[in-house]
Chain A
């Protein structure tokens, strides 16, 4: 890491008074052209810029992969089909055959969160999911989607009945004053836990990498070299692993929340 990047990092750290993160290309641009409205705009909306870049990247990949599909696929089409099939199997195991219509949403969610988590490992880039704003946005989207699914699949009365704990007998109805507020609280706990879990893990990883980069530079500071020891390398591997796991957990929990909202199958065990 160059001295300029280190300075940018120190400036960012002082400005935000938060955990250290490595400088990215926007930080360097805003340092170089500090005071220019477009540079300050980019710096202010850093996470949105990275999130949109990733979204556009995924859109381009999907477009290129589905532009000229062939019965005998080429390598790129084959790769995309393997990814989609993997997602279908993963989501299908939780939701079953009735859950096929949710595969586009959850599959896209998984790929988007995964890409956002892993992009931070690339030098000069930043994980948008290391910001609470991004993870809250994702979690709130899932929250509204789950509630909308509940309303659509159960109807309004069925949805309210679900929130009351689906009372079937006298005991069920007696428990309604307890079940109803608890269930409403549960629904609000879901997006909070989803967002905090993802944010905490990704910010923690990025801060760990930044700390070891700083340590690596400090280790060679005595020799006044413009580079540092690559002490962060094992943590880049760890970041890739935990980034993948967190994307999986986010998507799996979203899938489970959708499945909990769906009408119970005949003879199925109630989870309420």
Chain B
């Protein structure tokens, strides 16, 4: 769902900026792509966090 939300948020922001700045379609494209990269970053962060927790749990046991 994070991978779907990322480009969605980017598209909304990019579309709004295109409307304000008249930079259609570049704002939409750039922000949609940025949204995808941000969602990827977030998923990797969550996986790293979860792995850290798993390692902590294994160390304790």
Contact = CB atoms under 8 A, between A and B. Distances in A.
- Is A bound to B? yes
Interface of A: 93-94, 181-183, 185-186, 188-190, 192-193, 196-197, 200, 253, 256, 259-260, 269, 271-272
A260 B2 contact: no
A182 B31 CA distance: 10
Contact of B53 (A94, A182, A190, A192): A94
28 contacts: A93-B53, A94-B49, A182-B37, A182-B41, A185-B9, A185-B13, A185-B35, A186-B38, A188-B13, A189-B5, A189-B38, A189-B42, A190-B42, A192-B5, A192-B9, A193-B1, A193-B2, A193-B39, A196-B1, A196-B4, A197-B1, A256-B46, A259-B49, A260-B45, A260-B49, A271-B44, A271-B48, A272-B45
A119 B24 CA distance: 46
Nearest to B44: A271
Nearest to B35: A185
A63 B34 CA distance: 48
Interface in B17-32: 31
A141 B4 CA distance: 21
Contact of A271 (B8, B45, B57): B45
Contacts of A93: 53, 57
A193 B38 CA distance: 12
A183 B45 CA distance: 12
A253 B46 CA distance: 8
A102 to B, nearest CB: 15
B16 to A, nearest CB: 12
Contacts of B44: 271
A188 B31 CA distance: 13
B18 to A, nearest CB: 16
Contacts of A189: 2, 5-6, 9, 35, 38-39, 42
A256 B9 contact: no
A96 B33 CA distance: 35
